[in-house]
Amino acid sequence: MKFDHLYESYFNTAKQVVGKTTTRQQSSRMGATPWRQGSQNLVPDRDRVDPTLNSKIETLRNKPNGKEILTNSDLQYMMSEYGFRNFSKTQPKSLGKTGITVYWDTTINNFVAEK
> For the segment 57-104, what is each residue's pLDDT rounded down to a tens digit?
888 888 889 999 999 988 888 888 888 878 888 999 888 788 889 999
> For the segment 4-29, what is each residue's pLDDT rounded down to a tens digit?
666 676 666 666 665 555 565 555 55
Is 102 contained in some domain?
A: yes
> For the segment 22-68, what is each residue's pLDDT rounded down to a tens digit?
565 555 555 555 555 566 667 777 878 788 888 888 888 888 899 99
Is 4 contained in some domain?
A: no
Give the contacts of 56 (CB within 8 A, at least 6 positions apart): 68, 70, 74, 113
> What's the rounded Cα separation, in Å, for the pair 33 and 41?
16
What length is written for the chain? 115
Give the contacts of 92 (CB within 8 A, at least 6 positions apart): 101, 102, 103, 104
Is 6 contained in some domain?
A: no
Range of the domain at 95: 50-114
Domain count, the chain: 1
Environment class of 104 (CB within 10 Å of its CB; exposed 0-12, middle 13-18, buried 19+):
middle
